[in-house]
Amino acid sequence: MDLVIRDADVVDGTGAPSYRADVVVDDGRIVSIVKEAAAAGCQRPTARREVDAEGLVLSPGFIDMHAHSDLALLRDPDHSAKAAQGVTLEVIGQDGLSYAPVDDRTLAEVRTAIAGWNGGGPGDDSIDFTWRSVGEYLDRLDHGFDGEGIAVNAAYLIPQGTVRMLAVGWDDREATPAELDRMRQLVAEGMEQGAVGMSSGLTYTPGMYAKDSELAELCRAVAAHGGYYCPHHRSYGAGALEAYAEMVELTRTAGCPLHLAHATMNFGVNKGRAPELLALLDDALDAGADISLDTYPYTPGCTTLVAMLPSWASEGGPEAVLARLKDDATAERIRHHLEVVGSDGCHGVPIEWDTIEISGVSQPGLTSYVGRTVQESADERGEDPWVTARRLLVEDRLGSTILQHVGHEENVQAIMRHRVHTGGSDGILQGDKPHPRAYGTFPQYLGRYVRELGVLSLEECVAHLTGRPAARLRLPDRGLVREGYRADLVLFDPDTVAAGSTFEAPRVLPTGIPHVLIDGRFVIEDGRRTGALAGRAVRGAGAR
């Protein structure tokens, strides 16, 4: 045998009570679990290598159900931001915008549109964008660095906004029958090539221009290939409950499983209203709906500054947005929608500039904005905050990322207790001061919300982060500590595991996670990255 992990406290991902065992790994899989081996007096398993797990919990590897590592996995072979957390699988292609399927035109457009999330904008030559289809992108992940793979495993969601960009463009209009047929075909092809589902960003252009009838047709194609729909729905602020209900009804009509992305209740209008959301979901679940959700264990959100703009201002793509911002009369209309009306990009709530903290910029000369709210930078310059925001949008060519401090702790805790909850970092790795969730989500769950606050038991929390997401992804041999399953495993100290990242120092790695294995290979050993590239593309159930 390759490895025996001796005297571990096994938390197996089902939610069942922990037990003590020796766990044997060979050829990338768990081949034997000997419970209470030390007390049984039996012949104990041996292997070429042993790890003494006394005092450590052995759990399945954590599954990040909402990740933005689409380019980071191809840019950074180390990728300790996720590997050191115990993440062994990331679900990418989120929020309806990613890099496949594309053609030359849409690739250039999407690179500009989400440079704030992933880098890779114009002039960034750190990635060689040789793929165009979903299958080619997944093959590229498999190949990784010099054919050896990537740091952690990755599953892919077909981005509905990118699909609409390819078939319809950036116009705010209904798709023609021929365009709808093409979108259905693109989704079906992506599922057959290995995607696990489809995502949407329904506060981002151009995906937000799709009506529910269009989305339902695409969801039917997803469901026919065994996938699920993962929407960033139309509002997390004013109208949030209506937006959740819309997605529940849409997927009921389409017969498609639903996974609600970063399912939060934010802004002042939603303080204390998480129980209303959970009651809505419980009613649907009790009626037979197939629903799950993910959250991150922090209150602020993170996105791009341009995402705050009203949708009409973003029609036509990035260059059209910049042209509108440079026109004084149009810019004044944008300001009025942001500050008075409440733009759909800001979830129907008038923007509060003192909650918008600049977390990253694309242009090096603009770093003085980072770590300050728009209001603070405006006050320093003696100008209106819209003047500051407008200048930054133009000079940074829409590449600025933000932290939006609009969440509520009581909502965060209520939602994470729910029976269909899973963990997702929504981790944007770009910027000088990214959200600490990118480096800290999973140890934050285990350290703060299990050990310190007792919001979840250890067994419950591990199930939320492992077995439950693996079931949503329909992975037959991942997500549990079970004989025959792949040896994607984490060893952590329940007494010391903690996020190292903070809002002041967001790139600090966690503590208390000494070992992480993918397919039986150590990617973290004794708390250090080994250099192993054990990750691959994990293809969905509908792949051919």
pTM above 0.75, yes or no: yes
Higher pLDDT, 39 or 448: 448
d(CA 341, CA 348): 8
185-194: per-residue pLDDT in tens?
Answer: 999 999 999 9
Residue where the block lists tokens 């053609």:
103
- E strand spans, 247-405: 258-260, 291-295, 301-304, 356-360, 401-404
**Residue 154 — pLDDT band, cuts 50, 70, 90?**
very high
Averaged pLDDT, 484-497: 98
432-454: per-residue pLDDT in tens?
Answer: 899 999 999 999 999 999 999 99
For position 291, what pLDDT does the model report?
Answer: 98
Residue 237 has pLDDT above 80, yes or no: yes
Residue 75 has pLDDT above 70, yes or no: yes
Tell me whether strands 49-52 and 3-10 are parallel, antiparallel or unpaired: parallel
SS (H, E, C) 501-528: CCCCCCCCCCECCCEEEECCEEEEECCE
Residue-range domain boundaries for the chain: 62-299+407-480, 304-404
Amino acid at 543: A
Helix 318-326 with 104-113: angle, nearest 10 deg: 50
All residues at 6 or more sequence positions from 165 whose CB lies less than 8 Å from its CB, including other chains:
106, 109, 110, 206
Residue (of 374, 364, 356) closest to 397 by Cα position: 364
Residue (of 270, 351, 249, 248) closest to 305 by Cα position: 351
- Contact yes or no for 388/374 (Cβ under 8 A): yes
Q: Which CATH number fits domain 62-299+407-480: 3.90.226.10, 3.40.50.620, 3.20.20.140, 3.40.50.10860?
A: 3.20.20.140
Averaged pLDDT, 310-317: 90
Bond into 206 cis (ω within 30): yes
181-226: per-residue pLDDT in tens?
Answer: 999 999 999 999 999 999 999 999 999 999 999 999 999 999 999 9
- Contact yes or no for 489/62 (Cβ under 8 A): no
Tokens of 143: 């190949």
Tokens of 462: 């591990």
3-state secondary structure of 176: coil
100-138: per-residue pLDDT in tens?
Answer: 999 999 999 999 999 989 999 888 889 999 999 999 999
For position 313, what pLDDT does the model report?
Answer: 94
d(CA 38, CA 21): 8
Residue where the block lists tokens 């990750």:
535
